[in-house]
Amino acid sequence: MSWLLRPLAEQAAALRTGQVTSTALVEEALGRIAQLDGALGAFLRVTVDLARRQAAEADRRLAVEGEGAPDLCGIPVAIKDVLCTEGVETTAASRILAGFVPPYTATAVRRLAEAGAVSLGKCNCDEFAMGSSTENSAYQLTRNPHAPDRVPGGSSGGSAAAVAAGLAPAALGTDTGGSIRQPAALCGVVGFKPTYGRVSRYGLIAFASSLDQVGPFTRTGGDAARIYRTIAGPDPRDATCSPRPVEDPMPTLELGLEGLRLGVPAEYVASGLEPGVQRVFEAACQRLVAAGAQLEPVSLPSTRYALAAYYVIAPAEASSNLARMDGLRFGPGRPGAVTLREQLEGARHLGFGPEVRRRIMLGTYALSRGYYDAYYRRAQQVRTLVAQDFHRAFAGVDAIIAPTSPTVAFRLGERLSDPLAMYQSDVLTVPFSLAGVPAASVPAGLADGLPVGLQVAAPAFADAHCLRVARGVERALGVAEPPDLARRAAP
């Protein structure tokens, strides 16, 4: 089996005994990308030379530091294209940033590099991370590795597909309303959105600043914990990043589910789930009970307003964040523009895709005089109610579980002309985002051959606990098989 399909701990051990080198791992990844990614479309840019240089450096470091080297030293990773990488073009999958080569690196990416991880390149996503299918990328489609006629989810679809297909053992994504958890569920891998403020947003191209969070995609919960503890923690460059020290998830990771009370929100399983998703979720619940967990119904009554509130708050913040995109130094330009206004209008007209324009218009409207109180303020009030629901629920249970997405991966094109249907994909992930709590998605099984994800959430800053429960769920349910395509590929 390919090294890249094995847990990071096994790769790390093999790197230390000399059974494999970082250069060999990276060449294997580059080979698989060359073989599979033409059809998959997970990467926007593969940084071959940089990856080879970093791998050679990691091999030297492993030779010198041996067991003392960080556990990610020499491990290849992929990066969502909304995270800035010094010297490597970063577009957020938007035309308006075509040709933008950042002069600095995002903190999360820098921390991986400092730990010796090797960056393979930048992954496709929805433009500015707005979407649930990666179809809003201005550059290319990404296909689901389990079914090439279906979406990988979004917005971090390229990162999810890369890990599912074994092109990289881990990838970074971002989650504002579900963009790590939903594609992880649809591609059958693990995704983890840490507590808001746990991972620095420095160098992340902002979508909705009060919600955006960086986190990992991996094949296992243990791997997610390894990436998480490397990227988490205070950063003087991001004032919204919490100064609290990070609790290491590794010592408690394998404690299992015995005696844990897991809350199942009545509102999330009552209706609206595809029958296949419902079946997989119910079967998973039985296995969690068999593994020693106690399931308890909990109620999150404000949840029914969460999606509507999110689609006011996120576009409002996006409309102000995107006001900086002037198209003056990169992007499609505006030949013939004389005034600044002509330049701005022209560059934005050519540079932004339809969904981004829709969000800017929604957000600008919601913030405008006379409508602010009716929409933005009310949405913020709903946000508080949603957070209070979670607070109350967590007083009685150790974690909350729910399906991640109401459906399995849908067909390419199916929801493109119906924005509300697309927004519905986030109905089960958005409430956790509004509350700012940590949440993971773990593979729960297959419905008609397509992956279904189970979401695990814990109170704010109980990230280590969330990962422990996610790992316990994973052990109870069995680690998901990679898609056929990944198993068939060489080596």
Contact footprint for ligand GLN (CB under 6 A): 129-132, 155, 175-179, 207, 314, 426
Report the nearest approach of ligand GLN to the CB of residue 93 (Å): 12
Closest separation between CB of residue 278 and ligand GLN, Å? 22
User: Do 143 and 412 meet the contact criterion of CB atoms below 8 Å apart?
Assistant: yes
**How many other CB atoms sit within 10 Å of the CB of residue 286?**
11
Tokens of 70: 């960080």
To the query of whether residue 179 is one of the catalytic residues in this protein, the response is yes
Q: Tokens standing for 250? A: 């590794």
Helix, coil or strand: residue 125: coil
By the 8 A CB rule, do 407 and 277 touch? yes
Minimum distance from CB of 466 to ligand GLN (Å)?
A: 18
Closer of 81 and 398 to ligand GLN (Cβ): 81
Return the number of the residue (189 or 288) whose C-beta is nearest ligand GLN: 189
Beta carbon of residue 32, minimum distance to ligand GLN (angstroms, whole number): 27
Question: From the CB of 145, what's the least distance to ligand GLN, in Å?
Answer: 20
| Catalytic-residue membership of 193 | no
Query: Which of residues 105 and 176 has its CB atom nearest to ligand GLN in the complex?
Result: 176
CA distances from 387 to 95, 203, 298, 307, 434 (A): 36, 27, 14, 13, 7
Helical segments of 203-351, H only:
221-231, 266-269, 275-290, 306-321, 340-351
Residue of 119, 155, 159, 319 marked active site: 155
**Strand (E) or helix (H) holding 477:** helix 463-477
- Would you say 362 or 452 has its CB closer to ligand GLN? 362
Determine the 3-state secondary structure of 190 from DSSP.
Answer: strand
The secondary structure of residue 172, as a DSSP letter, is: E
The single-letter DSSP state of residue 394 is H
Which residue, 202 or 432, is less far from ligand GLN as judged by CB?
432
For the CB of residue 329, give the shortest distance to ligand GLN in the complex, in Å.
25
Q: How far is the CB of 196 from ligand GLN (least distance, A)?
A: 12
Amino acid of residue 368: S
Residues 451/145, Cβ–Cβ less than 8 Å: no
Shorter beta-carbon distance to ligand GLN: residue 47 or 182 = 182
Q: Report the residue number, 187 or 257, with the smaller CB distance to ligand GLN.
A: 187
The catalytically annotated residue of 2, 22, 80, 133 is 80
Which are the contacts of 12, defined by CB distance < 8 A and separation ≥ 6? 71, 72, 73, 74, 75
Among 165, 151, 278, 269, CA closest to 219: 165
Least distance to ligand GLN from the beta carbon of 152, Å?
Answer: 13
Sheet containing strand 450-457, edge to edge, reads 43-46, 118-123, 76-80, 170-175, 213-218, 190-193, 439-447, 450-457, 399-403, 261-265, 294-298
Q: Is 412 exposed, middle or buried (0-12, 13-18, 19+ CB in 10 A)?
A: buried
Choosing from 2, 22, 137, 179, the catalytic residue is: 179
**Whose Cβ is closer to ligand GLN: residue 21's or residue 182's?**
182
CB of 381 vs ligand GLN, minimal distance in Å: 20
Residue 228, classed as helix, strand or coil, is: helix
- How far is residue 331's CA from residue 208's CA, in Å, rounded to a whole number? 22
Cβ-based nearer residue to ligand GLN, 434 or 444: 434
Given the complex with ligand GLN, which of 47 and 132 has the nearer CB atom? 132
Cβ-in-10-Å burial (0-12, 13-18, 19+) of 11 comes to: buried
Q: Residue 277: what are its φ and ψ, rounded to 5°? A: -65, -45
Q: Which amino acid, 166? A: G
- Going by C-alpha positions, the residue among 91, 45, 136 that lies closest to residue 325 is 91
Q: Is 209 part of the annotated catalytic residue set? A: no
Nearest residue to ligand GLN by CB is 179
Q: Which residues of 270-280 are buried (b: 16+ CB within 10 A; e: fewer)?
A: eeebbebbbeb
Is residue 446 helix, strand or coil? strand
Instruction: For the CB of residue 179, give the shortest distance to ligand GLN in the complex, in Å.
Output: 3
Q: So which residues are the catalytic ones?
A: 80, 155, 179
